Structure 1
Amino acid sequence: MSYNPLWLTVLQAPFVQRAFIAGILISVAAGLVGYFVITRKSAFAAHALAHIGLPGATGAVLLGIPVLWGMGLFSIGGALVIGALGKRASDREVATGSVLAFATALGLYFSNLSSGAAKQMQSILFGSVLTITDEQLFTFAAFDIILLAVLLLIFRPLLFSSLDENVARAKGLPVTLLGIIFMIMMGSVITVAVPAVGTLLIFALVITPADTAMMITRSPLRAIVMTIVLCLIAMWGGLVLSTIFDMPPSFVIVSLSVVIWLVVKGLVALKR
């Protein structure tokens, strides 16, 4: 770690400006699903889906197609399998673990078949927010619009089934279908965000700000908005600090998110 005296100039560079815009778009996506990940007790599934996309990414390198396509195919496919097999929370844990084990083994197998896939593993695992392109920004923006539209359509039944699955099932809500739709949403968010922060770090952006927000407010809408804000603080703050002290952006972004979570958790404990 070293101080960069030209950090203010670097922040004005076009590639850093694109990273700031990407931070907004990724924060919106992560914030929209993060609240439901916590309420549905799907943290393990969120963690797993990030890794389930790994064989899709390495397989895409082998086939010479865009990495995001392969990762999206496997992440969404894994989400469908987990959602279909895990009708209840306890079932989801078993289905998630089984799919994750198979996907991890397949990803390692693909990476061993090609030196290009092995080299790609670094960017897949840790991402690179500073290399985001204009095309990716348009993709992120389009995805956010679609995600918001879907969430608006299913918000009330999804919220009901997330807070009390048994009562929602007794009321006749399509709990299994809602679970599958949500898993697809979560897999899509992870796929879109991976180029920026990687499969190992996206978990912190989806989970940590949402849990922080839920410690501050019990209102679902306020918690979702606060989650988006906390994600953005972590993204932008991480970019600025990594530029000032010449550190990897993904590491600083996640570290800042976790520090905020620890501070809020400590304050809540003291208040109690």
Structure 2
Amino acid sequence: MKILQYGFMQRAFLVGILLAVITPCIGITIVLKRTSMIGDALSHASLAGVALGLLLGINPVLGAGIICIIAALGIEGIRKKIPRYAEMAIAIVMSAGIGLAGVLSGFVKNGANFNSFLFGSIVSISQGELLLVCIVSVFVLVMLMLFYRELFYVGFDENAARISGVPVRRINFLFTILTALTVSIASRTVGALIVSSMLVVPVACGMQLGKSYRNTLLSAIAVALSTTVAGLFLSYYTGLKPGGTIVLLEVACFLILAAVKTVRNRFDGRK
């Protein structure tokens, strides 16, 4: 195909496919723990890291990764201090991220570089950034596979997981780091403002299709892969923004699946 003759599109497809695999793996635990907005908090914090990286003359993705990890650990720390109001931790860190990003962005001379992280630029990924995404993606995927059972238990019920002998504190710490790394690399490719959608929407689609944890996860990955590939093709031939196109396709997929499931349930109820 002509589209795959170009190096920048080859890199875009590779990065898109990698993210389409790891984001639902992270997202399903986020959804089960009822912390869906954590992606928004970390993505806004990543913008502060991007601005800091540009100011210090280092790779903005590296800066985003460092700040995302700090922000994720901050959320986990605040959540432990006020467990009854755990959602406040996300709001506090998001506010801090937005404020810091707003202040630091005022000192960035090249605003175009900073703005490219708002909605992503997957077709302009460099070889170095591609390598970084590959390394982080493989690391995240390996960790998720190694601790699949523990994340399953923690996602559904932390207290039950603790009783079952799962080291909940260590698993939460590991998952926090993996989430931060995923958000930091995704913010460069699909955009900091919409990265949380890629964590949650495919999982929501998977819940309409799967009746078990495993089937839901596999369905979410399938949805993410198909919408990512379709979004890249569509954006190439129409000139649309890839990140926004992918997310809109995911939302459309969810609406269709939810409507079909509703109709099916009503039909089954009349039997």
- State the TM-score, normalizing by the size of structure 1: 0.90
CA contact (8 A) 1:84 1:180 kept: no
CA contact (8 A) 1:79 1:180 kept: no
The equivalent of 2:203 in structure 1 is 210
Q: Which residue identity lines up with residue 93 of structure 2 in the other structure? A: V
Answering whether residue 159 of structure 2 is matched by residue 166 of structure 1, we say yes
The equivalent of 1:49 in structure 2 is 42
Structure 2's unaligned 5+ residue stretches are 266-271
Answering whether residue 7 of structure 2 is matched by residue 14 of structure 1, we say yes
Q: How many residues align?
A: 264
Give the Å deviation of 1:114: 2.6
CA contact (8 A) 1:34 1:227 kept: no
The alignment partner of 1:107 has SS state of helix
CA contact (8 A) 1:57 1:70 kept: yes
Answering whether residue 74 of structure 2 is matched by residue 81 of structure 1, we say yes
Task: Tell me which of the two structures has the higher relative contact order, counting C-alpha pairs closer than 8 angstroms and 6 or more residues apart.
Answer: 1
Say which of 173, 189, 193 aligns to 2:186: 193
Say which of 92, 100, 117 aligns to 1:106: 100
Distance 1:132 1:114, change over 3 A: closer
- Hey, what's the Cα distance between the residues in 2 that align with 1:156 and 1:11? 38
The equivalent of 1:222 in structure 2 is 215
- Hey, what's the Cα distance between the residues in 1 that align with 2:162 and 2:44? 30
CA contact (8 A) 1:60 1:70 kept: yes
- Hey, what's the Cα distance between the residues in 1 that align with 2:98 and 2:264? 42
- State the TM-score, normalizing by the size of structure 2: 0.91
CA contact (8 A) 2:76 2:176 kept: yes
- Hey, what's the Cα distance between the residues in 2 that align with 1:268 and 1:64? 51
- Hey, what's the Cα distance between the residues in 2 that align with 1:138 and 1:34? 23
The alignment partner of 1:43 has SS state of coil
Q: Which residue identity lines up with residue 95 of structure 1 in the other structure? A: A
Aligned pairs for 1:148-187 (under 5 A) are 148-187=141-180
Answering whether residue 75 of structure 2 is matched by residue 93 of structure 1, we say no
- Hey, what's the Cα distance between the residues in 2 that align with 1:90 and 1:185? 25
RMSD, matched Cα: 1.8
- Hey, what's the Cα distance between the residues in 1 that align with 2:84 and 2:169? 13
Give the Å deviation of 1:144: 2.2
The equivalent of 1:257 in structure 2 is 250
CA contact (8 A) 1:50 1:202 kept: yes
Give the Å deviation of 1:172: 4.8
The equivalent of 2:268 in structure 1 is none
- Hey, what's the Cα distance between the residues in 1 that align with 2:187 and 2:83? 26
- Hey, what's the Cα distance between the residues in 1 that align with 2:248 and 2:83? 29
Q: Which moved more, 1:82-91 or 1:126-135?
A: 82-91
- Hey, what's the Cα distance between the residues in 2 that align with 1:237 and 1:90? 42
CA contact (8 A) 1:79 1:184 kept: yes
CA contact (8 A) 1:84 1:176 kept: no
Q: Residues 179-223 of structure 1: CA distance to partner in whole angstroms, max 9, x if unpaired?
A: 222121111111111221010111111110011102211322222
- Hey, what's the Cα distance between the residues in 2 that align with 1:175 and 1:10? 46
- Hey, what's the Cα distance between the residues in 2 that align with 1:109 and 1:162? 36
Give the Å deviation of 1:245: 1.8
Structure 1's unaligned 5+ residue stretches are 1-7
Give the Å deviation of 1:250: 1.6
- Hey, what's the Cα distance between the residues in 1 that align with 2:112 and 2:238? 27
Answering whether residue 28 of structure 2 is matched by residue 26 of structure 1, we say no
Q: Which residue identity lines up with residue 179 of structure 2 in the other structure? A: M
Q: Residues 55-89 of structure 1: CA distance to partner in whole angstroms, max 9, x if unpaired?
A: 11101111111101110011011111111221386
- Hey, what's the Cα distance between the residues in 2 that align with 1:205 and 1:89? 27
CA contact (8 A) 1:41 1:89 kept: no
Distance 1:51 1:57, change over 3 A: same
Give the Å deviation of 1:244: 2.0
- Hey, what's the Cα distance between the residues in 1 that align with 2:57 and 2:229? 33
- Hey, what's the Cα distance between the residues in 1 that align with 2:210 and 2:27? 14
Between the aligned residues of both structures, percent identity stands at: 28
The alignment partner of 1:250 has SS state of helix
CA contact (8 A) 1:25 1:144 kept: yes
